[in-house]
Amino acid sequence: MNTEAVNTEAGNTAADPAEPLLGARDLRKSFGPTLALDGAGIDLRAGEIVAVMGPSGSGKSTLLHCLAGIVPPDSGEVRYAGRVLSALPDRERSALRRSDFGFVFQFGQLVPELSCLENVALPLRLDGVRRKPAERLAREWLDRLEVGGLADQRPGEVSGGQGQRAAIARALVTGPRVVFADEPTGALDSLNGERVLRLFATAARETGAAVLLVTHEPRVAAYADREIVVRDGRSRSYAAAGPARSPR
């Protein structure tokens, strides 16, 4: 899919292919007296799906927010494409989140006043893409996620699984190099969750995007190439062994 029209000044950042696309070392983060991260680290390479697992309160969502440049760590370092995120001006970090990074949340967080098509086109429109090419690309992604027939429906008029597929289309429409997915099927039943995961994993692999998939469910982590387990703010990497990680 041609996404040349959506490149921004911060997009398509060159990186050494031998190095991780996104990496973190010795991250520490506290919220008041609560220690959320205590020396966590991670490497994420282009085209790789990594599941970040752990119980509630383990620090996995905080790790995602630090990696995405949303929350600054108290200490440690996050590097994206060879650059230290914390060293970038706010404007450049914001531009990365519009172009190089995509986001999928547990409840989709679609704008209720907009149609599904307008929601998917929104990141492109915010980045200055004209309405017609933005909506054309958005429609292609809705078709790819098998919800093209719902383009004119608003989020409140579609099912949870359909809305989450529209949210995934919105995350992928800019051609991001990294997609951060925080419990993307946590609000869905098992049948809809499996369908959404298969479509998401297939689409991400076809585009070559790296995916950081935060979950506490083994069935979701089975779609990943590798698992990072976070406990008490510390991380440890494991090879994923789930049969579903190469979805058919």
24 in any annotated domain = no
pLDDT above 50: residue 165: yes
Phi-psi region of 232 (alpha: psi -120 to 50; beta: other; left: phi over 0): left
224 in any annotated domain = yes
Give the 3-state secondary structure of residue 213.
strand
Q: What is the mean pLDDT of residues 111-123?
A: 96
pLDDT band at 150 (very low <50, low <70, confident <90, very high): very high
Measured CA to CA, the distance from residue 53 to residue 234 in angstroms comes to: 11
Point out the least confidently predicted range of 102-106, 164-168, 185-189, 234-238: 234-238
244 in any annotated domain = no
5 in any annotated domain = no
95 in any annotated domain = yes
pLDDT band at 240 (very low <50, low <70, confident <90, very high): low
Residue with more model confidence, 85 or 18: 85
pTM (2 decimals)? Answer: 0.85
Confidence at residue 247, expressed as pLDDT on a 0 to 100 scale: 40
23 in any annotated domain = no
Confidence at residue 56, expressed as pLDDT on a 0 to 100 scale: 84
Q: What is the mean pLDDT of residues 235-247?
A: 59
Mean pLDDT of the chain, nearest integer:
87
Percent residues over pLDDT 70 in the chain: 88
Residue with more model confidence, 234 or 2: 234
Q: Which domain holds residue 127?
A: 35-239
Q: What is the mean pLDDT of residues 210-232?
A: 92
Q: What is the mean pLDDT of residues 119-130?
A: 94
Count CB neighbours of 206 within 10 A.
Answer: 11
15 in any annotated domain = no
74 in any annotated domain = yes
Q: Any residues with CB less than 8 A from the CB of 224 and at least 6 apart, and which?
A: 49, 50, 51, 211, 213, 240, 242, 245
Distances (CA, A) of 5 to 10, 123, 203, 223: 14, 12, 20, 31
Sign of CA dihedral 141, 143, 146, 149: positive
pLDDT band at 18 (very low <50, low <70, confident <90, very high): low
Confidence at residue 216, expressed as pLDDT on a 0 to 100 scale: 86
Measured CA to CA, the distance from residue 24 to residue 180 in angstroms comes to: 15
The pair phi, psi for residue 226, each rounded to 5°, is -155, 155
CATH of the domain at 48: 3.40.50.300
- Tens-digit pLDDT profile for residues 62-116: 999 999 999 999 999 999 999 999 889 999 998 898 889 999 988 778 999 999 9
**Strand pairing partners for 239?**
226
DSSP 222: T
Count of domains forming the chain: 1
Residue 202: which of 139, 154, 141 has the closest Cα? 141
Q: The tokens 């050494």 sit on which residue?
A: 16
Point out the least confidently predicted range of 103-107, 158-162, 237-241: 237-241
Please report how the helices 160-172 and 116-126 are oriented relative to each other, as an axis angle in degrees rounded to 10: 20
Residues in the chain: 248
Q: What is the mean pLDDT of residues 191-218?
A: 91
Measured CA to CA, the distance from residue 154 to residue 132 in angstroms comes to: 19
Q: The tokens 């404007």 sit on which residue?
A: 91
pLDDT above 50: residue 243: no
